[in-house]
Amino acid sequence: MSVSYRQPGVVLTDRRFTVPLDHADPTGETIELYAREAVASDKADQDLPWLVYLQGGPGFGANRFIGRPAWLGRALKEYRVLLLDQRGTGASTPANRQTLPLRGGPAEQADYLTHFRADAIVRDCEAIRPQVTGGAPWTVLGQSFGGFCTVAYLSLAPEGLSAALITGGLPSLDAHADDVYRAAYPRIERKVVAHYARYPQDVERARRIADHLLTHDVVLPNGYRLTVEAFQSLGIMLGGSEGSHRLHFLLEDAFVRTPNGHELSDAFQEQAQGLLSFAANPLYALIHEVIYGQDARPTAWSAERVRAEFPRFDAAKALAGDEPLLFTGESIHPWMFDCDPALRPLRETADLLAARTDWTPLYDPARLAVNEVPAAAAVYHDDMYVDTAHALTTARAIRGLRTWVTDEFEHDGVRAGGPRVLDRLLALARDEA
């Protein structure tokens, strides 16, 4: 039974759907999807077109908005919005260290998780669309990984779409994970250099913390083992509009003087564990690299292997000389499954996923080349998470796709830019700009 309730300026309705785990076996096992419908209070009784929002990730539930912030306010001017918790996330049937053992051992868990990529998410959308819209096509707004899903939607079921809007999420159609990370590490380094140019005092602060971690065994209050590599991974913050500033504030009061000398402060440790833990979104760690798997080549812990090709990210070498410590970015590494108590029980499962050689294509270049769905994409210049060159190559491969390339925003432009990003994409898709 659907339950509706109100927030300032918006009526929300909880909706739940049952879909096949494997859409190739529609009579087999099922899972549940949760979505939150949102409509402007003054339009609640109107017959409006639908917009479905696909969150970034992978492994994140849809935004839990309060009221009508960011892009949502713009969308609610003319749409009913469905905020979908993609399979395995949010209030949909969960996939984590507590629930995955219900599947069996690591091999069974890995097999189960092969059904959590973009193609399955598209099939989920198509399975629930008739129940939501009565069969009418809808507009999809895809942020980051949600944009990857949107390109898969244009490949697999364009008949379900009235328009496709993408923000920071045009994937390469054929790059292996190794290609993605070879492009990523130089981009990450540029973001770190820019951070140190903004906050030069952080050079010494980061080196001091890293040196402490190389010589001390630090376990955070939640059981997370804080290694120097884990500390470096806080650089993922640099991909967001406020990330550089937040990282600076984290570093500025890292140490406190104690009877045993200087130690990492409780305040620093509390913030660090909140930023590093995957307890709330373990799927992000488990399937992050396999979203790039499209053929018989295993991903094989790509980010970890490729990192070795960029020795400037080696903390010990940096500290042995006078080089600044380089943070890393959006990458998943096997040591995370040793450091994070939320991931430790899933290490063997992750290894099996990294070794798989039966991935199937997620995108259809031939179908994209004859695309007829109005489509627009915001490409954030030098996006830390999605390579601009890869994105623009894909943009050229999708017939009719219009791009807005901008350096006004970081990867989170659709949030940080308020209504402007969605407004611009709608204008482009409608040939109004």
Among the listed residues 25, 45, 47, 358, the single catalytic one is: 358
Among the listed residues 92, 144, 302, 331, the single catalytic one is: 144
411 an active-site residue? yes
For 105, residues 6+ apart whose C-beta sits below 8 A from its C-beta are: none
**∠ CA 283-18-101 to the nearest 5 degrees?**
40
φ/ψ of residue 426, rounded to 5: -65, -40
Candidates 122, 26, 54, 59; CA nearest to 362 is: 122
Contact indicator for 369, 399 with CB cutoff of 8 Å: yes
Max CA separation in the chain (angstroms): 70
Distance (Å, whole) CA 65 – CA 92: 17
User: Alpha carbon of 168 to those of 140, 160, 173, 270, 428: distances in Å?
Assistant: 14, 22, 15, 30, 16
212 an active-site residue? no
23 an active-site residue? no
Among the listed residues 172, 387, 411, 412, the single catalytic one is: 411
Distance (Å, whole) CA 250 – CA 272: 8
Which residues participate in catalysis according to the annotation?
144, 358, 411
